[in-house]
Amino acid sequence: MMPMECQLMVTKMNKMKDYIRNLFRKEYHVSVFLNGDKKFPNGLQHMTIELKKIKKIDNNQVVGVDVNNNNYEFNSVDEFNYQVKKIV
């Protein structure tokens, strides 16, 4: 069993490590909203995508890398609206 002082030190080190990691982490939440009465297969008119990197975004296409390091691409013939939020 670790002494109490050592446990506190480890906890502080973990918090510091998380703080530093979050300073350099880039993450974006891209919300896509369909126009009119169109819906996604889940029945909603919007969806949120979590991306680490956005390569291209416009009213017909979203291309990037998701938080699991997989390439992500969403295309639509019909235009859609989108909102990008950077997660700090």
- pLDDT reported for residue 79: 92
The sign one gets for the Cα dihedral 18, 20, 24, 28 is positive
Tens of pLDDT, residues 40-74: 888 999 999 999 999 999 999 999 999 899 999 99
Answer whether residue 24 shows pLDDT above 80. Answer: no
Q: How much is the pLDDT for 15?
A: 86
In which band, very low, low, confident or very high, does the pLDDT at 2 lie, cut at 50, 70 and 90? low
Domain boundaries, the chain: 26-87
**Percentage of residues of the chain with pLDDT beyond 90:** 56
Taking the C-alpha atoms of residue 34 and residue 46, their distance in angstroms, rounded to an integer, is 6
Backbone angles phi, psi at 75, to 5 degrees: -120, 150
Give the pLDDT confidence score for residue 62 in this predicted structure.
97
